[in-house]
Chains A and B, each alone.
Chain A
Amino acid sequence: MAKVLLEMRSITKTFPGVKALDNVNLKVEEGEIHALVGENGAGKSTLMNVLSGIYPIGTYEGDIIYNGEVCRFHNIKDSEKKGIVIIHQELALIPYMTIGENMFLGNEQGKKYNIDWNKTYAQADMYLEMVGLSDSSKTLIKDIGTGKQQLVEIAKALAKHAKLLILDEPTSSLNETDSRALLDLMKRLKKEGMTMIIISHKLNEVSYVADKITVIRDGSTIETLDAKTDDISESRIIKGMVGREITDRFPKRHDVPIGDVMMEVDNWTVFHPEFAERKVCDDVSINVRAGEVVGIYGLMGAGRTELAMSIFGRSYGIGISGDLKLRGKSVVLKSPKQAIEAGLAYVTEDRKGNGLVLSNSILRNTTLANLSGVSNGIFIDQDKEIEVAQEYVDKLKTKTPSVDQLVGNLSGGNQQKVLLAKWMFANPDVLILDEPTRGIDVGAKYEIYCIINDLAKAGKSVVMISSELPEVIGMSDRIYIMNQAKIVGEMKASEATQENIMEVIVKQGSETDAALVEDVEIKTDYKADAEAGEEVSAAEEGGEAAENTEEGSEV
């Protein structure tokens, strides 16, 4: 048996009036990848914050034994000195500094009053090579994609002589190719003797990479699974996380009649607003019928969000061409306002960034897209507004003490419900849901699926964009597969499997860029750039979401 590098013994962390961690035990052996899983708010981040000294000694009970000695960390510097380095979910790199500058931020090389830049960049290049990044360390952070930024974070940790690396949701803002590269890098580092703790919601990745999996639920350790001896399938892990077996992750729709074509998009082409020669949607044609749930599967950066937003009143992109038909009639929608009036709704993937007004109440967010529904055009009927907001809180089972609660204080799942309520109240015929279950826990996901089914039952057309294959397959009637700005396939959900969807993408990928799936290194900068802008904001969003939910602000 390998040497135990870290042992956290009966850690109890109390916030005023509540136990966030209750007698948590964690044992990490040297040279292993240890995954920490649990629902949002279960206490994973709190535990890692205790470990890294963000919550200093004295604010918690229990012992941290690292490398055989009891540690007393007062701040992050203390833990970093011992070689414990945490990489937070939200990337903490500064866009307008070079990779090298970022890597040695707070750890500058040379003398205090005279930074040795030659040494800085030489060292930086060395660490970049270790993580398999071929870019020069003098490249600005803003010029590389999120995937590479995550690698820079790891190189930065290596530069601090990390012995125990903690990665908090490292792949949450990466596409699948980049994620896979990152996970493979983790495996490589493991071989070189690095010990790692990974926190992740993506259970397939956990199964792929982890040697041991510790499940945390409601502030307590439930179990530790060993990849060698135990079953570590996704369903097994979920069982541990929620405390029971989930037999049916996706609720069934029964007898929903599928009607006429409600929305049809033909030969839709959109160009990037800043790089005008770049197509973000290329000759896309899709349609959706009344009562139908159409899934659009694609990796991040495939052009899904761009497609949805450009349809929704040209709210993204330039040089948009193509035909948009609603109920068989061609329409031109020049602003979100016109799109809403025409019966469209776009439920954004970025609920904090451009979906909700966090500083406003549930009430105000619910009626925002349809103020005319609670007013005579000028004056708002505030009584009616309360009624409407309350109706949707009840209908969607949003957990809140009152409709006056600020949306910023809700958990991710409940925020998503408010966002859905807002667009349901706008009474659209077609709802485009962009990643409707991103960053919310398993229970809340199920509730969102039920809402989607209810919408279909009510005769609405639902377009669901998602990068989670099981979700797309489980929820859709029909699936479009999008890759590199094109629709590359269409299939009935009943015929779809994870394998044949991936096959379609790989096949298309090999036609255009043989190396795309096989090897990230060759992944063109062109694509990385396309993603960088959106993904940075997505990363920030994800970070905030985690903070919000992890700190347990569910009401």
Chain B
Amino acid sequence: MNKIQVKDVLKRNIMTIALFAVYILFVVLAGVIRGTNMLDPSVVTSLIEQNAYVFILGTGMLMCMLTGGNIDLSVGSFVCFAGATVGLFSVENDLLNKWFGVWEKQMVDGQLQDVLVTPASPWSTPVVLLTALAIGLAYGALLGWLIAYVRIPPWIATLAGFLSFRGLGTQVLTTASTTNAISNLPSSLTGIFSGTLFPTGYMELNIFCLIVGIIVSAAIVLLNFRERSNKIKKGYQADTMLFVIIKSAIEVAVIMFFTIEFALNGGLPVVVVWIGAILIIYGIITEKTTIGRHFMTIGGNAESARLSGINNKLIMFVAYLNMAILTVIASLIVTSRTGAANSFAGQEYELDAIAACIVGGVSAYGGSGTIIGMVVGATLIGVINQGLSLVGVDQDWIKIVKGLVLLAAVVFEIMSKQGKKKDKEAKDKKAKVKKEQKIAVN
């Protein structure tokens, strides 16, 4: 591997490097200024748990953005509404009683009034989950239809959702409860989306978590090496052994870092399983499947995609249907974590998801972007958030910094693209002069 290749690899992974650098910076700063240990297992775990929704919504947003920089602004409001629905049906409350309770006319203080005789019983968890999924499917299908087939610009269609679902969710919650929130969600529900697997005490090494971490690490190393040997076998240009070893070592180090942190904090968080599963599935979809290729192609050139036999409308429809389903999952995770549905849940989540994509190098015009990039982007923003809070920076300033990071990421992306183009032009011109005699005219 020569110098140029090293430079190239570094350049391609600039955001990941930035993430490492920023993380280390904050670990040092938090330690020096506040005496806070950012590497403490509980702090690291909460970094992931707090940002779980960004990874999941970011995945859905990535799929939308791939189709041509289209975004979904209704995500946050729909998180609120889906959460409110889940709360409504899974916990006894005024609205549920009003709809399903048994009422009788009775004399109270000399007046005839409706009195609740038998309160409505909350629905079982599987039914609630199916209801939530159905709501997601219904909204996603509606949105997808409006955008793909009625051809309403995505930001307008989803702006309508942004406004109405916030209102609808709040309305449900204020009617259901005097506190404007439904709390005490059943553990049969919250357990599916939060908590830890086989929990142990703080600072006891959780064996299950450790085993999972080791298995994942081993799998990654295996895949890396198998890919290389496959390439060599078929005679393609493969990365050098050294490169694969370094790459694997870094990946294993990151996984084991989190494994040990989780293991010390009581075990593997359930939400990590959800995140892992979704990221792997969508990673495969975007990188390895024909439908993933269709998403990218539409974003790259919609007309060209259409004339190549791709059903553009269907893909757009699927993008928004998918976004709504992932939003329901994110909503369940967020609601389960707090154990309550709030009217302010999900505020600005859509913006977090978009920011994660943009910082993660997803093209704002569509056509390119990776799951891993989005993850790096989401984590970077999460780290900045947590780091600045721990250092004691005011929330307003955190917002300013996040805005600047977003801007810097885009400026960097565009400048590096322009730079590449210029380099190329110069190189090509050279080649052009050389090929003087090669013009193939017999």
Contact with B along A11-24 (1 / 0, CB 8 A): 00001111110000
Q: Which residues of B contact A246 (CB under 8 A)?
A: 441
* A202 in the interface (beta carbon within 8 A): no
Are the CB atoms of A358 and B301 closer together than 8 Å?
yes
* B3 in the interface (beta carbon within 8 A): no
* Closest chain A residue to B439, Cβ basis: A443
A353-B303 contact given A337-B309, A378-B290, CB 8 Å threshold: yes
* A551 in the interface (beta carbon within 8 A): yes
| B:358-388 near A, CB below 8 Å | 363, 367-368
Are the CB atoms of B429 and A20 closer together than 8 Å?
yes
A218-B293 contact given A369-B308, A379-B288, A553-B424, CB 8 Å threshold: no
Q: Kindly state the separation between the CA atoms of A276 and B393 in the bound complex, as whole angstroms.
A: 63
Query: Which bracket fits the contact residues of A?
Result: 35 or more
Are the CB atoms of A248 and B442 closer together than 8 Å?
yes
Are the CB atoms of B426 and A16 closer together than 8 Å?
yes
Are the CB atoms of A409 and B426 closer together than 8 Å?
no
| A333 → chain B closest CB, angstroms | 11
Query: Which bracket fits the contact residues of B?
Result: 35 or more
Are the CB atoms of A19 and B433 closer together than 8 Å?
yes
Q: Kindly state the separation between the CA atoms of A378 and B291 in the bound complex, as whole angstroms.
A: 7
* Most chain A Cβ neighbours within 10 Å, of B293, B309, B367, B435: B309
A354-B301 contact given A17-B430, A41-B432, A368-B308, CB 8 Å threshold: yes
Are the CB atoms of A356 and B301 closer together than 8 Å?
yes
* B307 in the interface (beta carbon within 8 A): yes
Count, A-B residue pairs, CB within 8 A: 142
| B137 → chain A closest CB, angstroms | 22
* A486 in the interface (beta carbon within 8 A): no
Q: Which of A218, A377, A551 contacts B290 (CB 8 A)?
A: A377
Are the CB atoms of A442 and B441 closer together than 8 Å?
yes
State which of A81-89, A380-388, A460-468 sits at the interface with chain B. Answer: A380-388
| B:287-307 near A, CB below 8 Å | 288-291, 293, 296-297, 300-301, 303-307
Q: Kindly state the separation between the CA atoms of A354 and B307 in the bound complex, as whole angstroms.
A: 7
A383-B429 contact given A357-B297, A442-B441, CB 8 Å threshold: no
Are the CB atoms of A380 and B426 closer together than 8 Å?
no
| A:310-348 near B, CB below 8 Å | 312-313, 315, 335-337, 339-341, 346, 348
* Most chain A Cβ neighbours within 10 Å, of B290, B424, B431, B436: B290
* B440 in the interface (beta carbon within 8 A): yes
* A364 in the interface (beta carbon within 8 A): yes
Are the CB atoms of A383 and B236 closer together than 8 Å?
yes
* Most chain B Cβ neighbours within 10 Å, of A41, A312, A354: A354
Q: Kindly state the separation between the CA atoms of A312 and B308 in the bound complex, as whole angstroms.
A: 11
| B420 → chain A closest CB, angstroms | 9
Q: Kindly state the separation between the CA atoms of A340 and B307 in the bound complex, as whole angstroms.
A: 9
Are the CB atoms of A357 and B289 closer together than 8 Å?
no
* B234 in the interface (beta carbon within 8 A): yes
| B:191-206 near A, CB below 8 Å | none
Q: Kindly state the separation between the CA atoms of A309 and B243 in the bound complex, as whole angstroms.
A: 49
Are the CB atoms of B303 and A371 closer together than 8 Å?
no
* B427 in the interface (beta carbon within 8 A): yes
| A11 → chain B closest CB, angstroms | 16
Are the CB atoms of B439 and A242 closer together than 8 Å?
yes
Give 18 pairs: A residue, B residue, CB < 8 Å, sorted on A. A15-B429, A18-B432, A20-B429, A41-B432, A244-B441, A313-B309, A337-B309, A339-B309, A357-B297, A357-B300, A357-B301, A379-B290, A380-B293, A383-B231, A383-B236, A443-B439, A446-B441, A555-B428
Given A312-B307, A378-B291; 9 other pairs, CB 8 A cutoff:
A243-B436, A353-B301, A357-B301, A368-B293, A380-B290, A382-B288, A386-B236, A409-B428, A552-B429
Residues of A participating in the B interface, judged by any CB pair closer than 8 Å: 15-20, 39, 41, 218-219, 242-244, 246, 248, 251, 312-313, 315, 335-337, 339-341, 346, 348, 353-360, 364, 368-369, 371-372, 375, 377-380, 382-383, 386, 397, 409, 422, 441-444, 446-447, 551-555
